[in-house]
Structure 1
Amino acid sequence: MNKILIWSITAALAGFLFGFDTVVISGADKQLQLLWHSSDAFHGSVVMAMALWGTVIGAIFGGIPTNKIGRKKTLFWIGILYFISAIGAAFANDPYVFAAFRFIGGLGVGASTIAAPAYVSEIAPADKRGRLVALYQFNIVLGILIAFISNYFLKDIGENAWRWMVGVQAIPSFIYILFILTIPESPRWLLSKNRDEEARKVLFKIDPTAELKDIMDDSRENGVTKHENIFMKKYRFPLILAFLIAFFNQFSGINAFLYYAPRIFEEAGLGQNTALLSSIGIGITNLIFTLIGVALIDKLGRKLLMYIGSIGYIISLGLVSASFYYNWGGLSVPTFLFLFIASHAIGQGAVIWVFISEIFPNHIRASGQAFGSSVHWVLAAIIPSLIPMLFSEIGPEVVFLIFALMMVLQLLFVIFIMPETKGISLEVLSENLTKKNIKKHDIKETSTAGII
C-alpha cells in the first residue's frame, strides 16, 4: 500500500500544477489589464481565459495520448507543457504572446484531468480508490493556496511582479517532471494493449496476492471491440452522469470565483490588500475542507458528500447574492464565500474527478474522462470570461443568484439520478452502469471489492 500511495501522490502532483496555473493569474489580473490597456471583453476572453481555452482543447484531445502512449508518458509531457508555459508567459511582452503561452499551460491542465485520475483509479484498491483519486483534488487546492500566497508576497516587488507570479511555476513543474519518471505504467492500460507480462510485473509490485486473471477477465468482457466508443447506446447512462456532474460543477461559479477572487472582494468594498489576504483565507479553507472530503469519501460515499455540498452551495450563494443586493458590507461577502468554498471542497471538489474516473469501462475510460473534462472546461472557459462584463451589466447579486438556482438543480440530480460508487471494483461498476435497465440507479456491492 505504501508504494501505491507514493505513486498516487506523484501522479496527483499534476493537480498541484493545475491549481497553481489556474489561480496564479488572479494576482496579475488588474495589473495586466492596466499594462496593456485592455477592454473588459478582451481582457476577460483573451488574457484571462486563454489558459482555459487551452484546457478545453487539452480535455477534448487528452484522451488520445492517454490511450495511445499510456498514462505515465502523458503525465510526463503534461509537466513539459507546464514548464514551457511558465517560462514563456513570464517573458511575454504583449497580450497575444502571453495568451499563447498561457494556452500551452492550459493544454497541460486539460490533459491532466484525464491522465492523473485514470492512472490513480487503475492502480488503487476499490476500498481506497476514492481517497487516493481525491489526492488529485487535494493537490489542486494545495496549488491554489500556494498560488494565492505566492501572489501576496510577490505583489510589491515592482512593475514586473506579474512576471514573477506566473514564472515561478517553472520550479515545481521541473520537479514534477523528475518525479513522474519514477512511477510504473498502469497495469490496466498495459492489459488493454495486450502487454500482459508487463502488466503482471506491475501488478505484483502493487499486490503480490492479486490474480491477474481476475482483472483480465473483467477488462476483456465479451462484446468489447476495438471499435467501441463512449457514444454507443449502452454507455448512455455513464455519459449522462459525466455530463451532469461536470455541468453543475462549473455552474456553481467555482472557477469564476477563483479567477476573480480579489476583484470580487474589492467589489464587496474591501481594499486591495485585504482582498488579497482574503484570497489566501479562501485557499486555506479550500485545503482544510478538501482534506475532510478526502478523509470521508470512502466512508460516507460520493452521494452524501454531494448532498452536503449542494445544500451548502445553495445557502452560501444565496447569502452572497443578498449581501450584494442589500449592501451588507463589511466581512459579509468574504464570510459567505468562505462557506461557499467549504461546500465546494467537501462536495463537488472531492467527488468530481473520482466519480468520472469510476463510471466508464477500462477500455474507454480515458475517452469518457475526456468527455466529462471537456464539458467541465468548456464551461470553465466561457463562464469566467463573461464575469467582468456580467458584473458591469447585471451586477454580482444577479450572477450569484443564478449560480444558487443552478445548485438547486444539482441537488435534484444527486437525489434522483446519481448512483453510489463507493467500494465497488471498476469492473463491477462497468457491468452495472452499462446495463440497459438500472433500477433506481442502485449498484450492488460484490465480493470483488478487494480487486484493484
Structure 2
Amino acid sequence: MKKIAVWALIASLAGFLFGFDTVVISGADKNLQAIWHSSDAFHGTVVMGMALWGTVLGAIFGGIPTNKIGRKNTLLWIGILFLVSAVGSAFANDPIVFAVFRFIGGIGVGASTIAAPTYISEIAPAKDRGKLVAFYQFNIVLGILVAFLSNYLLKDIGENSWRWMMGVEAFPSVIYIALVLFIPKSPRWLLSKFKNEEARKVLQLMEQEADYEKMKMEIELDNNNAAIANDTIFLKKYRTPLLLAFLMAFFNQLSGINAFLYYSSRIFQEAGLGESTALLSSIGIGVVNLIFTLIGVFLIDKLGRKTLMYIGSVGYIISLSLVAMAFFFDWGGMAVPVFLFLFIAAHAIGQGAVIWVFISEIFPNHLRASGQSFGSTTHWVLAAIIPSLIPYLFSTVGPGVVFLFFAVMMVFQLLFVAFIMPETKGISLEELSKKLIK
C-alpha cells in the first residue's frame, strides 16, 4: 500500500501544477491589463481566458493520448507542457504571445484532469480509492495556496514582478517530470493493450498479483464487449454515467469557483479592501481551501461521496447568499472575505474533494479515459466561459447579482445530490460499471 500511495502522490502532483497554473495569473491580472492597455473584454477573454480555452482543448483531446500512449506517458507530457508554458509566459512581450503560452499550459491542465485521476483510480484498492484519487484535488489546492503565497511575496520586486510570478512554475514542473519517470504504468491499461506480462509485473510490485487472473478476465470481457458493440460513451446504455459526469461538472462551475479563484484579488477590492489586504485575503482563501480539502480527503472513504456533496451544497447556498447580500447592502470591512472563506470551505469539502474521484469511477475500463474527458470538457468549457465574463458582468449587473445567480444554481445542485447522484464508496470499478450500465 505504501508504494501505491507514493505513486498516487507523484501522479497527483499534476494537480499541484494545475492549481498553481490556474491561479498564478490572479496576481498579475491588473498589472497586465495596465501594461498592455487592454479593454475589459480583451483582457478577460484573451489575456486571462486563453489558458482556459487551452484547458478545454486538453480536456476534449486528452483522452486520446491517455488511451493510446498510456496514463504514465501522458502525465510526463503534461509536465513538459507546464514547463514550456511557464518559461514562455515569463518572457512574453505582448498579450498575444503571452496568451499563446498560457494556452499551452491550459492544455496541460485539461489533460491532467483526465490522466491523473484515471491513473490513480486504476492502481488504487477500492477501499482507499476515494482518498488516493483525492490526493489530486489536495495537490490542486496546495498549488493554489502556493501560487497565492508566491504572488504575495513577489508583488514588490519591481515592474517585472509579473514575469517572476509566471516563471516560477518552471521549478516544480522540472521536479514533477523527474518523479513521473519512476512510477509504473497502470496495470489495467497494460491489460487492455494485451501487455499481460508487464501488467503482472506491476501487480507484483503492488503486491496484488493474486488479482491478476480476475482483473485480466474482466478486462478481456470488457474489451470483447466493446469490440462487438463498437462502443462509445454516447451509446444509450451509458446514458446514466454520462448524465452523472455532465451534472457533476456542470454544477462544479456554476458554483462560481473558477471565477472566484481567477479574480479573487479583484473581488476583494470590489468589496472595499486595499490591494495588499486583498492579496493577503487570497492567501487566507488558499489556507482555508487546503484545510477543508484535507478534511474532505480524510472523510471521502468514511462518509462517502454523496454525504460530502450534501455538506458542500448547503454550505454553498448559505455562503453565496451571504456574499450577494454583502454586495447588495454594502456591508464593509471583512464581511465579504469571511463569507468567501465559508464558500471555499464548502467547495473544498464537497465538490472539490468529490468531482475527480466520482467521474473517474463511473465509466467502464475501456471508456474511462473517454468518460473522464467528457466530464472534464464540460467542466472546462464552463470554466472558460464564466471567468471570461466576470470583468464585464461586474461592471454591468454588479457582483451582487452574479453571486446570487451562483447561489440559486447551488439549490439545483442540492436537488441533484438528493435525487440523482448514487453512492460509489467502497465498490470496485468493475462492479460500479455493471451497476450503472443499463
Q: Into which bin does the TM-score normalised by the smaller protein fall? A: over 0.9
Question: 5 Å matches for 1:140-151?
Answer: 140-151=140-151
- Which residue of 1 is the match for residue 195 of structure 2? 195
Which of 262, 268, 272 aligns to 1:269? It is 272
When the two chains are superposed, the root-mean-square deviation of aligned CA atoms in Å is 0.7
TM-score, length basis structure 1: 0.96
Contiguous gaps of at least 5 residues in structure 2: none
Q: Indicate the SS of the match to 1:299.
A: coil
**1:320 paired to 2:297:** no
Distance 1:125 1:224 in 2: 25
- Which residue of 1 is the match for residue 112 of structure 2? 112
Q: 1:182-235 CA deviation, whole Å, 9 max, x = no partner?
A: 000000000110111111110111124532111122223366223211001111
- Which residue of 2 is the match for residue 449 of structure 1? none
Q: 1:381-415 CA deviation, whole Å, 9 max, x = no partner?
A: 00000000000110000000000000000000000
Distance 1:309 1:293 in 2: 10
Distance 1:297 1:209 in 2: 27
Q: Indicate the SS of the match to 2:300.
A: helix
**1:432 paired to 2:435:** yes
Distance 1:210 1:425 in 2: 16
Q: 1:342-377 CA deviation, whole Å, 9 max, x = no partner?
A: 000000000000000000000010000000000000
- Which residue of 2 is the match for residue 25 of structure 1? 25
- Which residue of 2 is the match for residue 83 of structure 1? 83
Distance 1:139 1:218 in 2: 32
Question: 5 Å matches for 1:245-264?
Answer: 245-264=248-267
Which of 400, 405, 408 aligns to 1:402? It is 405
Distance 2:382 2:226 in 1: 32
**1:343 paired to 2:340:** no
**1:421 paired to 2:424:** yes
Question: 5 Å matches for 1:138-287?
Answer: 138-221=138-221, 224-226=225-227, 227-287=230-290
Alignment: residue pair count: 435
Runs of 4+ more than 4 Å apart:
none
> In structure 1, what residue type is equivalent to 2:55?
T
Distance 1:272 1:167 in 2: 22
TM-score, length basis structure 2: 0.99
1:216/1:209 Cα in 2 relative to 1: closer, same or farther (>3 Å)?
closer
Distance 2:343 2:217 in 1: 44
Distance 2:418 2:307 in 1: 10
Distance 1:180 1:328 in 2: 48
Q: Indicate the SS of the match to 2:23.
A: helix
Distance 2:422 2:196 in 1: 32
Q: Indicate the SS of the match to 1:327.
A: coil
Q: 1:124-165 CA deviation, whole Å, 9 max, x = no partner?
A: 000000000000000000000000000000000011000000
- Which residue of 1 is the match for residue 62 of structure 2? 62
Q: 1:397-451 CA deviation, whole Å, 9 max, x = no partner?
A: 00000000000000000000000000000000001100x2xxxxxxxxxxxxxxx
> In structure 2, what residue type is equivalent to 1:381?
A
Q: 1:216-256 CA deviation, whole Å, 9 max, x = no partner?
A: 22223366223211001111100000000000000000000
- Which residue of 1 is the match for residue 99 of structure 2? 99
- Which residue of 1 is the match for residue 9 of structure 2? 9
Contiguous gaps of at least 5 residues in structure 1: 437-452
**1:375 paired to 2:378:** yes
Distance 1:417 1:52 in 2: 29
Distance 2:28 2:117 in 1: 30
- State the percentage of identical aligned residues: 74
- Which residue of 1 is the match for residue 297 of structure 2? 294
Q: Indicate the SS of the match to 1:45.
A: helix
> In structure 2, what residue type is equivalent to 1:338?
F
Contact 2:226–2:366 (8 Å) recurs in 1: no
Q: 1:100-121 CA deviation, whole Å, 9 max, x = no partner?
A: 0000000000000000000000
Distance 1:24 1:120 in 2: 26
Contact 2:246–2:378 (8 Å) recurs in 1: yes
Distance 1:406 1:374 in 2: 20
1:121/1:208 Cα in 2 relative to 1: closer, same or farther (>3 Å)?
closer
